[in-house]
Amino acid sequence: MKLKNLSDKKIIVSAGGTIEMLDPVRFMTNRSSGKMGVSIADAAYKAGLNTLLIAGNVDKNLLSGKKYEIIKVLSTRDMLDAVKNQLCDNALLIMAAAPADYSFKEISSVKIKKKSDELNITLVKNPDILMESSKIKQNMNFNNLILAGFAAETNDLEKYAIGKLKEKNLDLICANDVSTSESGFESDYNKITIYFKNGLKKELNMALKKDIAKFILKNIDTYLGEIDEK
């Protein structure tokens, strides 16, 4: 797979869910396996691109034997810090991870004991990594930085995906329906629709995630070629 418009870019891919600790033994996370993000990183590396994977809660077997750089993180804030440290003007950030939207307001340093029938816990909103990346792009004048998001939805896929694309000022967003067991979280398969900020829409029905990864990279490469010509 030749990707001439991506050949000089630093490819930063995030994968997996993040973990928010409640106490030393309990935590909150989600069903993201990291398979999609790892597949994208694999495809980018095989295409000869400078590839970096920022991995959250991803099975170690999925990461074993990789020849590209991997940064392991735990929480959403950890992932944000890792992304911020790697962003540069000539990068492509593909946020395939599913960072936790909320974290615990208070983290106990010792295991919380079972004392009553109810346990009241307060959650606080985590920073949005793509939103923060978009701010960095603007503030640092990273005009060549390409931001690609993912929208995993259970309903109104197009509405929510396009809303996130505009709200976060992204170049593109990859939307996938996770309401069925056949695709999305934990599955080796996915079906995806890519929405670009120039109005272009590309769709691929059910396919292996490794083929979805190639589809995403090829379409980003084509998109970059088109905007360079304008």
- Catalytic residue numbers read 30
Task: Give Cα 212 to chain centroid, integer Å.
Answer: 14
Of 151, 149, 170, 147, the residue nearest 161 (C-alpha): 151
* Contact indicator for 96, 14 with CB cutoff of 8 Å: yes
Of 34, 13, 18, 2, the residue nearest 73 (C-alpha): 18
Within 5-105, residue ranges assigned H as helices are: 35-46, 60-63, 76-86
The region that residue 42 occupies, defined by phi over 0 for left and psi between -120 and 50 for alpha, beta otherwise, is alpha
In DSSP notation, 134-177 reads: HHHHHHTT-TT-EEEEEEEESS-HHHHHHHHHHHTT-SEEEEEE
What tokens were used for 169?
């000022």
- Show the CA angle centred on residue 102, arms to residues 151 and 18, nearest 5°: 65
Paired residues of 28 in beta bridges:
20
DSSP 113: P
